[in-house]
Amino acid sequence: MPSSPGGRAVSLDDLLALNDEIAALVRAGVPLESGLAELARDLPSNPARVAAELADRLAQGDPLDRALDAAGQRLPPLYLAVVAAGLKSGRLSAALEGLATAARRIAELRQTTATAIIYPVVVFLLAWVLFVGFVTFFAPRVLPSFRDVRLDSAEVIAWFAGLGDSVRWWAPVGPVVVLLAVGAWWYRSGRAFSLGAGGRLGWVPGAGELVSSCRSAAFADVLALLVDQRVPLPEGLRLAGAASGSRGMAGDADALAAAIERGAGPREYMSLAGRFPPLVAWFLSAGQEGRVLALALRHAAASYHERARRRAEIVQTFLPMLLTLVVGGTIVLAYALILFVPWINLLKALSTP
């Protein structure tokens, strides 16, 4: 985990709190050095240290982006890129608010995922206890009956009965591994550095599209701000690509920026922007410029924000049910195979003359 002598990396919640306060200070026109110094008294310890360090560096005359670079080991590169783009466009608060919207969606999805995991974990732990009881008490007692009627499944029951002899060694492993895995995911997904990785939620059904929509919205938002302030398009593309949090998008942005600097025209843009948000790529290839392009990009950003919102609602509604069905269904199937199928075979053998 990245760290610095001054403290550990901030969490996602800490970053959101710090980001909101900086955006509020910028909107209010309050000098950041004095505002952050006051803010450090009210924030939790880790973000308070970051705020105090930023206030000290700003008071020494460092610009905000340089002050943030000094604390960069505790802040994700994505955040530094958004601040750089906001300062370049002259609309820092708007850039920070756009980042906060995407970050909150990821934080909410993380909380939803954690809530959805609780019941499947409880089901698994209960099933594990029943399995331990099966190999410890049930299998040894029914094994003689299976051997008496010479069923093929007697060897399977014997294997399970053998597991019961070493139950003290392996029984704690399953629950410990599951709980440690859930705890490790919760910790890693809660770090601010996970923001660029989509909050470590790529395994969650439906989360991929949500994260992709958030990145597309961030790219379009930042590029609109830069274009509106007449920042040259190649520079704007590079800054927006870095602020999106997507390596693929940033790579295409660098390639397209280099092509524009070499004299490429709008007709070539689409072939170089394969990983751009489709609406953004289309607007760029249409040859729009200036305020018209900025307005089109804002509409594209609004569309991707709305798409992310709808996807978040779908995931929040169906994820708990889906995880419960998958885990519960797997456990029921496993029990049917190891318990009921051999038992039914035994009953059939006993009822056959």
Q: Do residues 172 and 52 make contact, with C-beta atoms less than 8 angstroms apart?
A: no
Q: What's the CA gap between 188 and 184, in Å, rounded?
A: 6
Q: Nearest 5°: phi and psi at 112?
A: -65, -40
What is the tens place of the pLDDT at every residue in 265-276? 777 777 777 888
| Per-residue pLDDT, 180 | 93
Q: What's the CA gap between 199 and 307, in Å, rounded?
A: 18
Beta bridge partners of 8: 3
What does pTM read for this prediction? 0.73
Q: Do residues 74 and 10 make contact, with C-beta atoms less than 8 angstroms apart?
A: yes
Cα–Cα distance list, 163 to 2, 132, 175, 178, 332 (Å): 43, 9, 17, 20, 20
Q: What's the CA gap between 62 and 268, in Å, rounded?
A: 40
Q: What is the mean pLDDT of each run of 10 residues along the chain (353 residues)?
A: 49 81 82 79 74 83 78 73 82 82 81 84 88 85 75 77 86 91 83 63 72 85 86 88 84 88 78 83 78 87 87 83 84 78 70 63
Q: Do residues 151 and 346 make contact, with C-beta atoms less than 8 angstroms apart?
A: yes
DSSP string, 231-259: --HHHHHHHHHHHHT-HHHHHHHHHHHHH
| Per-residue pLDDT, 350 | 64
| Per-residue pLDDT, 32 | 79
Q: Do residues 158 and 123 make contact, with C-beta atoms less than 8 angstroms apart?
A: no
| Per-residue pLDDT, 179 | 92
Q: Residue 267: is it exposed, middle or buried by C-beta count within 10 angstroms (0-12/13-18/19+)? A: exposed
Q: Do residues 206 and 315 make contact, with C-beta atoms less than 8 angstroms apart?
A: yes
CA angle 179, 181, 182 (to 5 degrees): 65
Helix (H) or strand (E) run with residue 65 in it: helix 64-70
Token digits for 187?
């910790």
Q: Which residue has the tokens 């009953």?
A: 347
Helix (H) or strand (E) run with residue 8 in it: strand 7-8
Query: Side chain identity at 252, as an amino acid letter?
Result: D
